[in-house]
Structure 1
Amino acid sequence: MTYPTAWPTRRARFLFDRRDVRGADAPLASATKEGVILRSDLDYSVWNPDSNVSNYKLVEPDDFVIGLRSFQHGISHSSVRGIVSPAYTVLRQTGSLNPQFVKHYFRSSQLISRLANITQGIRQGQAIDIEAFRNLIMPVPPQEEQHRIANYLDAETARIDALAKSYERVKDLAAERAQTMIDTEIEREPADTPLRHIVRFREGPGIMAVDFQQDGVPLIRISGLQEGGVTLQGCNFLSPDKVVRQWHHFRLRLGDRLISGSATMGSVSIVRDLEVVGSIPYTGLIILRPARSGVEMGYVEAFLKSSRFSRQIDVLKTGATMQHFGPSHLSQVNASLPSVEIQRRVIATVGDALQFSEQVARLTNGQVALLAERRQALITAAVTGQFDVSTASGRNVTDGVPTP
C-alpha cells in the first residue's frame, strides 16, 4: 500500500505496548464490534464469569483489545475502564498515535485484508495471533493530520450511522403498521373456536442421524423454511423404503403450511415446489392442514401472525424450561372462524399490509447496505491518505465534533 510521502510507516510492535495488569477493582467488560463495553450496558446476555476474576485484565479508556473472534471485528477500542477475559490481549498505543485515528484504521478494509494476509488466511471466528499483529506495518501520519482525519471520520460516520438508523426506523414503523392491521382484523371476531377444530397439526417425527443417507427422500430442516416457502436447503435424506414403512403419513402435500416451534413466532412457510412434495419434515416442524370445510388457510396464516396467537402461546410456555411450542400448545389455543367471505376480506387486507411492509424492508435494507459500503470506503480512503479530508467536502468536517 502506498501512503502519502509525509506519512512514515512503522511496525505495530513499535507502536503498541502490551498491558497485563491483573486483579484490578473494575467492572466486567467485553470486546464487541462497537468497542469495549461494560457488560452491564450490553443489550444481550453474555456468559457468566467464574466467581474468581482476579486473573482478568485491566483495560483503560483508549486501550485496544484483541478479541477472540474474527479479525473483522477483533480489535476493539475502549472508551471505558473495566476488566476483560485473560484470553484477550490489551494494547496501549504510544504517544505518536491518536487513538481515534487508530480506531478508524482498525476498521478499514485495508487493515482487514493486510491482517488476513499476514495471518496466512485467518478464517471467520478465529483469534488474531498477537505476533502476526506485531509484524503489521501501519501508517503514522503527522499528529495534526491524524487529529484532522479522526475528526472528519467521527463526523461523517456519525452522519451515516444516523441515516442508517432512520432507515431502520422506517422499516420498523412499516412492520408495526402491518402488525396493527393484522391485530385489528383478527380481533374483530371473538376467539370462541379451538384452533384444533380449524386446523389439524402434526409435528415431524423424531429421526436419528443414523437414518440419514446420501440421497433418497428429503428430510426438511428448519433451514429449508425460506421467505415463506418450503425448500430443500440444508435437507438430509432418508431411505425411501423406511419412509414407506414408518413415516409415510408425514409426507408433505402441495399447499401444506409448515411452522417451526422454535423459530420466529408467526412465520409460516407454504409447500409450493413440486420438488418438496413427498418430503418429510423434521421434528420441531409442524404441518398445518384444514380440519374442516370453510377454512381459508390464508386466514389461519394471518391468525398465526397476530398478537392474539402470540399472547396465548406465551402464556402456555410460561415456566417451561424449553421456550418452544408444539401440538400440545396449539391444541389449547382459541381462535375465531368467521364466514369464508370475511376470511377472504381479512386475507386481502392483511396481504396488502404485509406486502407494503416487505417492500419497505427491501428498499431500506438496500439503502442501509449502500451506506455500510460508503462508510467502509470512506474510512479506508481517509486512513490511507487517498484523499485530503480537509477538502473532502464543502462543509466544516468537524461540525458537531468537540475539539481536544
Structure 2
Amino acid sequence: MSGRSTTLRAAAEVALGRQRAPQHDSGPHMVPYLRAANVKDGVLDLSDVKEMNFTPAEQQTFSLHPGDVLITEGSGSISAVGASAVWRGEIDGVVCFQNTLLRLRPRDDRADGRFLEWWARSTFGSGVFASIASGANIYHISAERVRALPIELPPLEEQRRIADFLDAETSRLDDLAKTQVLLIERLKEREGVATELTLSNASSSSVRLKRMLTVPMSYGANESTEHDRRDWPRYIRTTDIANDGRLRDETFASLPPDVARNYMLSDGDLLFVRSGATVGKSFVYESQYGPAAHAGYLIRARVNRNLTLPRLIWHFCQTAKYWQQVDEGAIQATIQNVNAEKYGNLLVPLVDRERQHSTLEILDSQLATSRILQNRAKQLLELLAERRQALITAAVTGQFDVSTASGRCVTDGVTA
C-alpha cells in the first residue's frame, strides 16, 4: 500500500456529541439522537432511539450525514469502548448524536468514509481504543486522544479499493460464520427432539414431579456475605450453574458451616432456578463437587431413587416440553418467577424401571456427541472472528496489496 503515515486529525474531523441535560428533555426542536447504546461493533441498533431538543444552530453542529463513522467514546465496559458503526441515513430527517459518541467525518480530499469505517473496526478489534481509554467505572477515549491516533493513509483510489476488498472478503467470512451459528441452532434443536423421543420410548406414563420426591421442595440460604473458604461448604448460586449442566469452578463461593447446615445438598439433588433471566435452568448436584449448600434463588428437589434416576429428570429439563411447562407456570411480575409449587406440578416422564440405566446411557451419549459438534462449530466461529480481524488490520495497515489478493488465506504470515 502506497501512502503516508499521519494522524487521524489529518484524515477526518473528530467531534464529540452534545451532552444530555434536563433542559434538553423537551422543547420546540425535538429530534432523534444516537448514543453509545445504539452503537455495536459494526452495527447500529436503532430499536431504541431517544429524542432531545436541539436548536437549529445545534442541529448544524451535531447532525449526522450518511457516511459518518460513530465511535463509542465512553462505556462502563473496557471491551465496548471504541466500538464503531456507520450512519447511512437509516432514519429520515435530522438525527443528532450525544457526547457518549464521537463522530468521524472524512475530509473529502484526504479520506474515504468507507476506508475510515474499516480503520475504526481495525482499531477497535486490535485493542488500540481500549489501550488509550482512561477512567474507573466509566472508560473514556476522548476526542483529542482519538485525533492523535496514527493512521496509514494511502491515496483515495487505493482507499476505495481496500474498502471494496474488505466489503467482499468479510462478507464471505460472515457467511461462513452464519452457517456455523445455524449449525449450532440445529444441533440444539435435534438434541431436544432426540431426548424427547428417547424418553417417550422408554416411558409408559408421566407423573407430577412432587410425586417423585422424598421430601417437599425447598428454597436455599439467603446469605448476603459470600466467602472463599475451601474448607467451608460450597455456596451454589444461579451464576455457578453453566448452560451445559456443569458447576463452574471459576465462580466459587462458600458459606460458614453453621449457616449452611440447614441447606446441605445430597448426591442427586436437583436444583431449579426460580427467577430472573435464567429461570428454569436446572442442575444435578453430585457428591464429587464436595459439601455444598444452595442459595435462595434455587429450589431443591430431592428425588426418590427408588422411582427414578435424577439425571433422567435433568435430561427432560432440556426439552421443549419442559420449557413449555415452565413458561406456562411462570408468574409475570417485575421479573419472571417460578415457585416451588409450580415446579412440583411439572409433568415428568417416568421411565420404566428396568430401562432407566440403559436410557440414561443413551441420553448421555447423545448429549455428549451433540456438545462435541457444537464445540467444534464454536471453535470455528472463534477462528473465523480472528481471521476476520487479522484481515481487516492487515488491509488497512498495508501488510499486503489488496489489488492482487485473492481473498483466500491472505492473512497467512501477517500480524494483526
Is 2:265–2:292's contact at 8 Å kept on the other side of the alignment? yes
Is 1:218–1:238's contact at 8 Å kept on the other side of the alignment? yes
Structure 1 residues 32-62: Cα deviation after superposition (integer angstroms, max 9, x where no partner): 21333422xxxxxx5x84xx52249532321
Does structure 1 residue 64 correspond to structure 2 residue 73? no
Identical positions, percent:
25
Which of 210, 220, 225 is the matching residue for 1:204? 220
Is 2:284–2:314's contact at 8 Å kept on the other side of the alignment? no
Structure 1 residue 319 displacement after superposition: 3.5
Does structure 1 residue 78 correspond to structure 2 residue 87? yes
Does structure 1 residue 35 correspond to structure 2 residue 72? no
Partner of 2:385: 372
Question: Structure 1 19/125 Cα, relative in aligned 2: closer, same or farther at 3 Å?
Answer: closer
Question: Structure 1 107/206 Cα, relative in aligned 2: closer, same or farther at 3 Å?
Answer: same
Instruction: Please identify, of 286-295 and 67-76, the stretch whose mean Cα deviation from structure 2 is larger.
Output: 67-76
Does structure 1 residue 230 correspond to structure 2 residue 247? yes
Q: Give unmatched runs, 5+ long, in structure 1.
A: 40-45, 398-404
Partner of 1:306: 319
Partner of 2:113: 99
Matches within 5 A, 1:188-337: 189=203, 192-199=206-213, 200=215, 201-209=217-225, 212-213=226-227, 215=229, 216-226=232-242, 227-240=244-257, 242-243=258-259, 247-262=260-275, 264=278, 267-272=281-286, 274=288, 276-291=289-304, 293-337=306-350
Question: Structure 1 171/381 Cα, relative in aligned 2: closer, same or farther at 3 Å?
Answer: same
Instruction: Please identify, of 80-89 and 301-310, the stretch whose mean Cα deviation from structure 2 is larger.
Output: 80-89
Matches within 5 A, 1:333-352: 333-352=346-365
Structure 1 residue 109 displacement after superposition: 5.1
Partner of 1:153: 166
Is 1:296–1:343's contact at 8 Å kept on the other side of the alignment? yes
SS of the equivalent of 1:290 reads coil
Instruction: Please identify, of 328-337 and 380-389, the stretch whose mean Cα deviation from structure 2 is larger.
Output: 328-337
Matches within 5 A, 1:38-53: 38-39=46-47, 49=50, 53=52
Is 2:70–2:104's contact at 8 Å kept on the other side of the alignment? yes
Distance 1:186 1:84 in 2: 57
Question: Structure 1 125/183 Cα, relative in aligned 2: closer, same or farther at 3 Å?
Answer: farther
Distance 2:195 2:399 in 1: 51
Distance 1:187 1:265 in 2: 25
Structure 1 residue 20 displacement after superposition: 5.9
Question: Structure 1 24/136 Cα, relative in aligned 2: closer, same or farther at 3 Å?
Answer: farther
Is 1:118–1:136's contact at 8 Å kept on the other side of the alignment? no
Structure 1 residue 134 displacement after superposition: 1.5
Question: Structure 1 252/19 Cα, relative in aligned 2: closer, same or farther at 3 Å?
Answer: closer
Question: Structure 1 86/324 Cα, relative in aligned 2: closer, same or farther at 3 Å?
Answer: same
Is 1:218–1:232's contact at 8 Å kept on the other side of the alignment? no
Matches within 5 A, 1:126-145: 126-145=139-158
Structure 1 residues 201-227: Cα deviation after superposition (integer angstroms, max 9, x where no partner): 322122233xx4453433222232244
Structure 1 residue 335 displacement after superposition: 2.2
Distance 2:128 2:264 in 1: 51
Is 1:294–1:339's contact at 8 Å kept on the other side of the alignment? no
Structure 1 residue 123 displacement after superposition: 7.9
Aligned pair count reads: 375
Structure 1 residue 97 displacement after superposition: 1.1
Q: Give unmatched runs, 5+ long, in structure 2.
A: 19-23, 411-416
Structure 1 residue 339 displacement after superposition: 1.5
Instruction: Please identify, of 134-143 and 102-111, the stretch whose mean Cα deviation from structure 2 is larger.
Output: 102-111
SS of the equivalent of 2:351 reads coil
Distance 1:109 1:38 in 2: 23
Is 1:35–1:78's contact at 8 Å kept on the other side of the alignment? no
SS of the equivalent of 1:280 reads strand
Distance 2:142 2:287 in 1: 47
Question: Structure 1 228/249 Cα, relative in aligned 2: closer, same or farther at 3 Å?
Answer: same
Q: Which amino acid aligns with 2:302?
A: R
Question: Structure 1 312/379 Cα, relative in aligned 2: closer, same or farther at 3 Å?
Answer: same
What TM-score results when the alignment is normalised by the length of structure 1? 0.81
Structure 1 residue 364 displacement after superposition: 0.5
Superposition RMSD on alpha carbons, in Å? 3.2
SS of the equivalent of 1:352 reads helix
What TM-score results when the alignment is normalised by the length of structure 2? 0.79
Distance 2:367 2:96 in 1: 44
Q: Which amino acid aligns with 1:388?
A: D
